[in-house]
Amino acid sequence: MHLVVSDFGVFIGKKSERLTISSKGKIIQEVPLRDLEQVTIASRGVTVSTDALASCIEFGIPMNFLTPTGKPYALVTSPELNGTVQTRREQLKAYDDKRGVYLARCFVKGKIANQASLIKYFAKHRTGTESYQKMMDAAAEMEKLEKEADEIDGDHVDQVRPYLMNLEGRAASLYWDIVGPLAAGDDFKGREHRGATDPFNASLNYGYGILYTQVWGALVLAGLEPFGGFLHVDRPGKPSLVLDMVEEFRAPVVDRSVIVSFIKGWRPDFDEDNALTQESRRHIAGIVLERLALRDRYSGKKQKLEGIVLAQARRLASYLRGEGQYKPYLSTW
């Protein structure tokens, strides 16, 4: 299970082989350590005992920390997970050769293809309506852009990045013109990232924070350096490889979950600071984690999406070591 702690002022401790969640000295939840895969702390004022932290490390349970807006600011894991030196050496070398170009192209192709697939997923439930053909036309245009990425080549990722980002931006414009109004109606004024205060964008941003922790943890487990990306430019404090790999999973994991929730009539609440309330954050985390627990076709069989995230990280590590090929994850619709 993935334990999400989003209540202010709780205490995370350890009792025997269990994590305990306490509020005002009273235990409100106990979770066996053997049943835990991850712990995500998504609130201010949470206290974690060193016993609880040490037990999570011992059991191989990563502990993620998010701001109330969903931005990851820490990941606590065992330092032994960083011991795969060969993978990281090859990752850093790849930035300066054709492998970096290939991977940047894969991340863009995967993102665009999965955005188009999500549009087709919603379109198939609207067959015979006026919006159906508009949605299918947009998906077809995006698939053309995805194929154009194959024509972009160079000797260094810095040469091809502007062209790939241009394709990604054109596809994003088509995508949000369809799915934004589908979820939020006339209230959708465009995609906003940091600091968004409208219900749809704020929900997406928080959901992406949950997804970032999944991808970040998977990359660390695969022996990769989260800050050494290819498509996204390196900057201090910017986990560019996390941002690279998360592109494949945004649409099928977070966008689909949030859009469906909005179509069903759910809307988040905001507190006096114009931030998502604890209950709204809990809802978004719940639907994203529920989606990650569902299965999709991958490598010829049905696998949980959270397992596919880890498999993609390992596939990336294998490719960098010259032990296999990397292909983007393509969701079914």
Compute the CA torsion angle 28, 31, 33, 35 (nearest 10 deg). -160
Give pLDDT tens digits for 207-218. Answer: 999 999 999 989
The pLDDT, as a whole number, for residue 81 is: 65
Which tokens go with 300? 């010829």
- Give pLDDT tens digits for 270-283: 999 889 999 999 99
Tell me which of 3.100.10.20, 1.20.140.10, 3.40.50.11810, 1.20.1090.10 is the CATH number of domain 2-61.
Answer: 3.100.10.20
Which amino acid would we find at residue 53? L
Identify the weakest region by mean pLDDT among 2-6, 111-115, 147-151, 206-210: 2-6
pTM reported for the whole predicted model: 0.87
On whether the CB atoms of residues 89 and 231 are closer than 8 A, the answer is: no
Half-sphere exposure of 193 (CA within 13 A, CB side): 1
Among 202, 193, 244, 221, which residue's Cα sits nearest to residue 306? 221
> Is the predicted pLDDT of residue 299 greater than 60, yes or no?
yes
Question: Is the pLDDT confidence value at 171 over 80?
Answer: yes
* pLDDT tens profile 18-74: 999 999 999 999 999 999 988 999 888 999 999 999 999 898 898 999 887 788 888
**To the nearest whole percent, how much of the chain has pLDDT over 90?**
80
CATH number of this structure's domain 85-320? 1.20.120.920
Domain with CATH 1.20.120.920 in the chain: 85-320
Summarize pLDDT for 124-151 with one digit per residue, the tens: 989 988 899 999 999 999 999 999 999 9
Residue 284 has pLDDT above 80, yes or no: yes
For residue 168, is pLDDT > 90?
A: yes
Residues of the chain with CATH 3.100.10.20: 2-61
In order, the DSSP letters of 26-82 are EEEEEEEGGG-SEEEE-STT-EE-HHHHHHHHHTT--EEEE-TTS-EEEEE--GGGG
pLDDT digits (tens, 9 = 90+) for 208-257: 999 999 999 899 989 999 999 999 999 988 999 999 999 999 999 999 99
What's the CA gap between 207 and 37, in Å, rounded? Answer: 19
pLDDT at 101: 98
